[in-house]
Amino acid sequence: MNLTKLYLEKKFEEYYSRNDLALPTRYKNREFAFVPLELLPDFVMLRHISFKSYEDFKTYVLSKVPAHIYFSSAYYEKPDEAKMEDKGWIGADLIFDIDADHLPVKTQSLDKALELSKREVKKLVAVLRSDFGIRDMNIYFSGGRGYHVHIHDDEFLGLGSGERREIVDYLTLNSPKIVEDGRLLESNAARRVVNYMRRKLDEDEALSRKLKIKPKEFRRDRLTKKAVKAIEKFREEAERVLRIHIDAPVTADVKRLIRLPGSLHGKTGLRVTEVWDIDEFNPLKDAVAFGDEEVVLRVNKRINLKIGDMNTKIYPGRIKLPEYAAIFLICRGIAVYEGMA
Amino acid sequence: MKYLPLLPLLTRYPFLRLSSRVFTFDVAKGLEASPDAIEVAKEIVSHAIDGKIYRDRYVEEADFFCVGCDGRCYDCSEKGSFVNCDLCMKCFENCSYDYPEDIYREWYRKAELSLLSHISSRMIVSALDDWVRMRYAVNESSYYAELMRNDVGLKKPEIKKQDGDVVLRLIALDIGVKLKGWDVHVSTYVKASSRIRDERWRLVNRKLKDGFVETAKAEVIRIIEEMLRAKLFEKVPVIPSIQPAVKELSRKAAREAKRFSFDLGEVDLKCLPPCMKEILSELQRGMNVPHTARFALTSFLLNIGMDVEGIITLFKSAPDFDEEKTRYQVEHIAGERGKGSEYTSPSCDTMRTYQNCVWDCGVSHPLIYYKKCKSKRK
């Protein structure tokens, strides 16, 4: 095994021996899955594993240090059965995944990507609270390029895939009806689209000219033909802005594997971290799991390194960096380990 | 008198879970003692096979006594409204209403018979083919929905029952529809709406606040109907004493099945629905097609009878074609590798959710579009 991998394995093992993870509720009924660090770069997933106690879990993790740990959103009678149909599905948490890779604006910068993801999380949480009346939810930074929202509410546990897709369509504003028989539909979606349009018309005279309608002429209670035309022209843009960009298959899948809170993301070395205050949360600081002892690396690419307290340009060659930054670069495949400083 | 107000109700709506709290009996012995019950059950199923509803069953029109009764049978927060009610049954057990003994007995007996025929009809369809159980579930739930609409006066306002609304709330509670006023909790709502093919029912076209979807009374009944349909489609354990009925009806079902069987015939790519055409053309142009779209097309082509080799040949023209990878994926969906499970291609709703729908064809499933086109071209 090469030195870099040995170093990483040692560090991950240290992390898991020093930190006690809080296993999810009803963990005995859940399936766990691991990608062993040892076999990287091959991504081998060991699945259908279940645990009777926290000690069993910890022993397992320390014996096969994993690069990634997942657990099932679903509860099963027999989570360790190898065939999905033999597991005996009981129910599943409602899960939302917001990942920068699924946002319309693409960016290379992790920092920027996380900022965009955060905006979507705030939109999501607001709608889940006001429209769905959900108070009890947990938000996690995924350790990668996004966030997960877990809902354990019993009301939603038993929903099947088609039923969850109704929720997805609602959140992603998937082809809503806005106008019917010349009247505004009585729906949250229609109201949101029209309110947004109204606001934009007030702010932006050019838009008003383009849509050929003055803000004054645009009344929700009495839609004129002119207004209907303007809505048809503008709705696509409004829907794009108002849509919440969740990754649809994740929510619709009732047997999804998701990253375990508290575990490390093998492609960044960051911790899957619970977010208490989304405004205050800084993923690239708050999810750092390692210390600042200095390490020597060989970097193979020029990048802007922004993590922890560092915000600097890094160039190819030998460099001394604090452990947390070193692990971040190694995990991302940008550097190899050369030794202790 | 114990359970008195429930008896007429259970005669009309024997599917209520409440009935198992009032009656405990051995179904086999019950049927032996009342052969009439199985005859009614047979009629119900026989009609369902023909796509009809059998109406000549046990009914009792008497009112739900609790409405208008002053008795304080149990300490409930709001009597008769079933707000915060957990169906503990205490009030019904302590019912102090007095009624002639012989009528009470007759009602008890009727409710029992109604329940017996309901249970045995479910057993019979559980022993028959899936499509019979499906027709049964559709017909039975629509029969009960009609009763409910009558009760609350939606059909003819002049025959609205005074107790209609209360009875409807009790049924909703029993079947698991969470209500606030007549608004339905979103978790219940989506269970029904995901099965109803109508734009107006999609959650995205609804008013939703604090977890409740704004719904009207008629819609609440529709939701109960959908949930009931799902419930009645579930199989129940079958007992030996209904075997003669099963045998008789399975012959009838076999005759009916012959009438609607059809063959998709030769694969005809000209009949692909617009969504599938779009995905195929994107694949052939080497565009980056999402996994959900690849899955949809592959399972669709398998469903219409194409074999793995045929599909791989079809994908070959793509500039980034990777035979090994493609073969692995196609075979997995076909079920030759994987776990032996073959998939049905996604419905239009699913296609829409994953943004793979490109046209409003007026069908609910891409396969229906294909079938319609094939039969037109014949």
Reduced to 3 states (helix: H, G, I; strand: E, B; else coil), residue A335 is: strand
Indicate which of B177, B183, B186, B342 best probes the interface with A, i.e. most A CBs within 10 Å of its own CB: B186
Chain A positions touching chain B (beta carbons under 8 Å): 83-85, 130-134, 155-156, 159-160, 162-170, 172-177, 185-190, 248-249, 252
B205·A189 Cβ contact <8 A: yes
What's the whole-model pTM score?
0.83
pLDDT in the model for residue B339 = 44
Nearest to B206 among A83, A187, A248 (CB): A187
* Residue A314, domain extent: 290-340
A170·B203 Cβ contact <8 A: yes
| C-alpha distances in Å from residue B210, one per residue of A210, B103, B347 | 37, 47, 30
Nearest to A156 among B187, B214, B355 (CB): B187
CB-CB neighbors (< 8 A) of B210 in chain A? 130-131, 133
pLDDT in the model for residue B342 = 65
CB-CB neighbors (< 8 A) of B178 in chain A? 155
Q: Are A171 and B358 in contact (CB under 8 A)?
A: no
pLDDT in the model for residue B360 = 85
- Residues A260, A326 within the same domain: no
Task: Mark whether A99 is an active-site residue.
Answer: yes
Report how far residue A56's alpha carbon sits from residue B169's, in angstroms, rounded to the nearest whole number.
Answer: 48
Q: Is A125 among the domain residues?
A: yes
CB-CB neighbors (< 8 A) of A168 in chain B? 353
CB-CB neighbors (< 8 A) of B204 in chain A? 166, 169-170, 173-176, 187, 189
CB-CB neighbors (< 8 A) of A170 in chain B? 203-204, 208
* ipTM of the complex in this document: 0.90
Q: Is A146 among the domain residues?
A: yes
H or E stretch at A139: strand A137-141
Q: Is A319 among the domain residues?
A: yes
Q: Is A95 among the domain residues?
A: yes
Domain count, chain A: 3
Name the band, by pLDDT with cuts 50, 70 and 90, for residue B270: confident
| C-alpha distances in Å from residue B179, one per residue of A33, B162, B163, B170 | 39, 20, 18, 11
Mean pLDDT, all residues of chain B: 85
**pLDDT tens digits, B61-84:** 777 777 777 777 777 656 556 777
pLDDT in the model for residue B47 = 92
pLDDT in the model for residue B340 = 45
CB-CB neighbors (< 8 A) of A137 in chain B? none
A159·B209 Cβ contact <8 A: no
- Residues A115, A15 within the same domain: yes
B203·A167 Cβ contact <8 A: yes
Q: Which stretches of A70-160 are DSSP H helices?
A: 110-130, 154-157
B208·A188 Cβ contact <8 A: yes
B203·A159 Cβ contact <8 A: no
Nearest to A167 among B190, B207, B292 (CB): B190
B190·A163 Cβ contact <8 A: yes
Does B262 have pLDDT greater than 60?
A: no
Q: Are B174 and A147 in contact (CB under 8 A)?
A: no
How many beta-carbon pairs below 8 A join chains A and B? 92
Smallest CA–CA separation between B307 and chain A, in Å?
Answer: 25
Contact B178/A at CB under 8 A? yes
Reduced to 3 states (helix: H, G, I; strand: E, B; else coil), residue B134 is: helix
B194·A189 Cβ contact <8 A: no
Task: Identify the weakest region by mean pLDDT among A92-96, B321-325, B354-358.
Answer: B321-325
Does B368 have pLDDT greater than 70?
A: yes
Helix axes B101-126, B130-151, angle to 10 degrees: 150
- Residues A153, A55 within the same domain: yes
Residue B251 CB neighbour total at 10 angstroms: 10
Mean pLDDT confidence for B327-331:
84
Pick the residue from chain B with its C-alpha nearest to A173: B204
A166·B202 Cβ contact <8 A: yes
Smallest CA–CA separation between A240 and chain B, in Å?
Answer: 13
Q: Is A301 among the domain residues?
A: yes
Q: Is A238 among the domain residues?
A: yes
- Residues A9, A70 within the same domain: yes
B204·A174 Cβ contact <8 A: yes
Residue B300 tokens read as: 């669709």
B292·A249 Cβ contact <8 A: yes
A248·B339 Cβ contact <8 A: no
Smallest CA–CA separation between A162 and chain B, in Å?
Answer: 6
- Residues A304, A184 within the same domain: no
Q: What is the CATH number of the domain that holds A46?
A: 3.90.920.10
Four-point Cα dihedral B185, B187, B189, B191, nearest 10:
-160
Name the band, by pLDDT with cuts 50, 70 and 90, for residue B140: very high
Mean pLDDT confidence for B286-313:
85
Task: Mark whether A111 is an active-site residue.
Answer: no
- Cα–Cα nearest to B190, from B215, B170, B169: B215
- Residues A203, A320 within the same domain: no
Smallest CA–CA separation between B179 and chain A, in Å?
Answer: 13
Task: Mark whether A221 is an active-site residue.
Answer: no
- Residues A234, A184 within the same domain: yes
Q: Is A72 among the domain residues?
A: yes
Name the band, by pLDDT with cuts 50, 70 and 90, for residue B336: low
Q: Is A305 among the domain residues?
A: yes
Indicate which of A151, A166, A184 best probes the interface with B, i.e. most B CBs within 10 Å of its own CB: A166
- Residues A93, A192 within the same domain: no
Higher pLDDT, B308 or A99: A99
Q: How big is chain A by its Cα radius of gyration, in Å?
A: 24
Residue B367 CB neighbour total at 10 angstroms: 18
Nearest to A131 among B193, B202, B209 (CB): B209
Torsion over CA: A124, A125, A131, A135 (sign): positive
- Of these residues, A80, A99, A169, A181, which one is catalytic? A99
- Residues A22, A150 within the same domain: yes
The number of residues in chain B equals 378
Report how far residue A52's alpha carbon sits from residue B282's, in angstroms, rounded to the nearest whole number.
Answer: 48
- Of these residues, A97, A169, A204, A221, which one is catalytic? A97
pLDDT per residue of chain A (341 residues) written in tens, 0 to 9: 588 999 999 999 999 999 999 999 999 999 999 999 988 888 899 999 999 999 999 999 999 899 999 999 999 999 999 988 899 999 999 999 999 888 888 888 888 999 999 999 999 999 999 999 999 999 999 999 999 999 988 899 999 998 999 999 999 999 899 988 888 899 999 999 999 988 888 888 888 888 888 877 777 777 888 888 888 888 999 999 999 999 999 999 999 999 999 999 999 999 999 999 999 999 999 999 999 999 999 999 999 999 999 999 999 999 999 999 999 999 999 999 988 87
Report how far residue A224's alpha carbon sits from residue B323's, in angstroms, rounded to the nearest whole number.
Answer: 57
- Residues A133, A44 within the same domain: yes
Report how far residue B164's alpha carbon sits from residue B149's, in angstroms, rounded to the nearest whole number.
Answer: 9
Residue A193 tokens read as: 């689209």
- Residues 6 or more apart whose Cβ sits within 8 Å of residue A66: A12, A34, A35, A36, A37, A263, A266
- Residues A10, A55 within the same domain: yes
Indicate which of A81, A131, A136 best probes the interface with B, i.e. most B CBs within 10 Å of its own CB: A131
Higher pLDDT, B259 or B323: B323
pLDDT in the model for residue B64 = 75
- Residues A136, A219 within the same domain: no
